[in-house]
Amino acid sequence: MSDTNPTASTPGPVPFRVSDEDLDDLASALAQTIAEVKRHGVILDRLGSEPDPVPPADQQEDGAAEAEADDPEQTDGPASVFIVALGGEAYAVELAALSNWVNHLLLPVYGREISTTRPWCAQWHDHPEAVARLHALWLAWQQLTDKQAGLAGPSTWHRDHLDQALVHLRAPDGPFAACTTSPTRPNHRVLSTPAPEYAEVAA
């Protein structure tokens, strides 16, 4: 009778080892996948805030006739997709989607070092001008990085939109003029704007 232990003779799982080169490739692929997921999240957030799809033409005519009968001046959805024209929940949803794009794409790629000649503010969403300029930049990015924009689309976006936006946003006298000019001394202050002057109405 054999004294061999069946448990001992059964081979266990062979450890799986990944070479350093393959590990670097996996890490790079994972980083690209995470970036792609984040981009998809931005697009999904934006799609969730858009109005319902347009119905077929025959239904549009019937619906338009009913709407005109009820209220000739009534329109569906916001008159503009520009964030300064939005309010309430629509503004909050759009700002959240914009923040994802700024934090996960714009700043990691184009956010140059903070200096006295290139200020920045971590609380940029509190600066109305910065929100407006960044949102316009994001809208242009969505249009010009789409396949339909052609191969020159990204170059056009850099030349006509990104470069000009960054010049104004990070200028020493721009919207962040009173904010952080050194990474070691964070600061945030929204500059006051000129008060509107209202002409007195004659009695």
**pLDDT tens-digit readout, 59-98:** 555 554 454 445 444 455 557 788 888 888 888 999 999 9
What is the predicted pLDDT for the residue at 194? 84
What is the predicted pLDDT for the residue at 69? 46
SS3 assignment for 31-56: HHHHHHHHHHHHHHHHHHHCCCCCCC
Closest CA to 48 of 88, 7, 90: 90
Q: How far apart are the first and last CA of the chain?
A: 120
CA–CA gap between residue 177 and residue 191 (Å, rounded): 8
What is the predicted pLDDT for the residue at 34? 73
What is the predicted pLDDT for the residue at 66? 53
What is the predicted pLDDT for the residue at 140? 95
What is the predicted pLDDT for the residue at 183? 86
Residue type, 39: R
Residue ranges, the chain, pLDDT below 70: 1-31, 33, 35-78, 198-203
What is the predicted pLDDT for the residue at 1? 53
* Token pair 């407006």 in the structure block, residue: 132
What is the predicted pLDDT for the residue at 73? 47
The ranges assigned to domains in the chain are 19-53+78-192
Query: How many other CB atoms are there within 10 angstroms of residue 190's CB atom?
Result: 16
Cα separations (Å) of 190 from 53, 62, 112? 39, 49, 21
What is the predicted pLDDT for the residue at 46? 60
Which residues face 120 on adjacent strands?
180
Q: Are 181 and 119 spatial neighbours (Cβ–Cβ below 8 Å)?
A: yes
